Amino acid sequence: MTTRRGFLHTVSAGLLASAATPFADWRALAAGTDLVRPFKAGLALQLYSLRQRVKKGDVEGALALTRSFGFTEVEGNAPEGTTAAAFAAQLKSHGLSAMGSGVDFGALTAGTLDRATADAQTLGAKYLMCAWIPHGKLLTEADVDKAAPLFTKAGEACNAAGLTFMYHTHGYEFVPGPGGTLFDTLASRTDPSVVKFEMDVFWVVRGGGQPLQLLERYSGRVAATHVKDMRKGTPTGDATGSAPEETNVVVGTGVVDWPALFRASEKAGVAWHIIEDESPDAETQIPQSLRYIASLKP
């Protein structure tokens, strides 16, 4: 996941300007520095959404585009080869800050979590999330038994550092397990006071889970969501943790009942909704998703 969310370097001023212009109309939907939204939770952008621009070395353009959408908060790590302090300054120069960052599962097993927590603190982040449990073709109870104590230990370390540790669902957790699914097993075998969840709505649906039921059952443990919609007709009950990128569609045009989900999230105490769009057309889709969210009533 570190590689997946890695960043490269620099950009030309001309490309930066041309990137922001087509989406300038979105600013009309912003109220001050806050995006219009039908919930009290914060609204951020997962920077992986702009990975195509970043892969071309256009980090500055990606950040400028993020701000032009109306965001002031992002989730993401410092670019590969860049220090957390340098990236924090880069974010600040675009009127952005990081509400959260990520840590690879390998750092938990290698005992190198301290570097991730230190980087998160430098970025000003309040959340540190792990997005993958290594496993074979299917997640097993043995995989969960390996991950659970590491997550609790990481949660304790994060808590001591003033951070909240989250495990990010990826869809493969919804195979049968003791007490329901292996997600339920993981939840029951981790300390609820220090291990929270980042519920990626797309991946929960893809894996056969029920987002509304999860919010109700784990009220108080879902600290954040990834707001991602799934194209109608996409197969569910798939435990691979993968899906074609084009199945990510504009929020409000897919299979998710977003008004119900946002209401349930408020009741469950979700603090952040984070837009992540893995579509090749993410730069076009993100403003459309924001317009849909802004159209909903509280």
pLDDT tens digits, one per residue of 183-220? 999 999 999 999 999 999 999 999 999 999 999 999 99
Asked if pLDDT for residue 122 goes beyond 70, the answer is yes
Say if residues 64 and 19 touch (Cβ distance below 8 Å): yes
Residue 87: left (phi > 0), alpha (psi -120 to 50), or beta?
A: alpha
Query: What mean pLDDT is predicted for residues 21-40?
Result: 56
CB 286 within 8 A of CB 237: no
**pTM for the whole structure:** 0.89
40 domain residue, yes or no:
yes
Is 2 part of a structural domain of the chain?
no
Establish if 97 belongs to a structural domain. Answer: yes
Judge residue 261's burial from the number of C-beta atoms within 10 Å of its C-beta, 0-12 exposed, 13-18 middle, 19 or more buried: buried
Structure tokens at 286: 């993100």
List beta partners, residue 166: 129, 196
pLDDT tens digits, 123-146: 999 999 999 999 999 999 999 999
Residue 147 C-alpha from the chain's centroid: 20
Residue 2's pLDDT is: 34
Pick 5 or 91 by higher pLDDT.
91
pLDDT on residue 34: 64
Helical ranges in the chain per DSSP H: 13-20, 51-55, 59-68, 84-93, 105-110, 113-123, 141-160, 182-188, 201-206, 211-217, 258-268, 282-295
Q: Can you tell me the mean pLDDT for 88-107?
A: 97
**pLDDT over threshold 90, residue 4:** no
Residue 5 lies in a domain: no
Q: What is the pLDDT of residue 33?
A: 46
Cα 22–chain centre separation: 25
Mean pLDDT of all residues in 70-76: 96
Hey, which residues does 180 pair with through a beta bridge?
Answer: 177
Strand partners, 67: none
Whether the predicted pLDDT of 28 surpasses 90: no
Q: How confident is the model at residue 57 (pLDDT cuts 50, 70, 90)?
A: confident
Of 99 and 4, more confident: 99
pLDDT digits (tens, 9 = 90+) for 259-268: 999 999 999 9
Residue 254 counted as domain residue: yes
Give the pLDDT of residue 111: 83
Among 255, 239, 258, which Cα is nearest to 247's? 255
- Domain span holding position 289: 13-295
CATH at residue 58: 3.20.20.150
Count of domains for the chain? 1
Q: What pLDDT does residue 76 have?
A: 95
CB-based burial label for 40 (10 Å; 0-12, 13-18, 19+): exposed
**Bridge partners, residue 100, by sequence:** 75, 127
Task: Supply the mean pLDDT for the chain.
Answer: 89
Q: Is residue 232 part of a domain?
A: yes
User: Is 6 domain-assigned?
Assistant: no
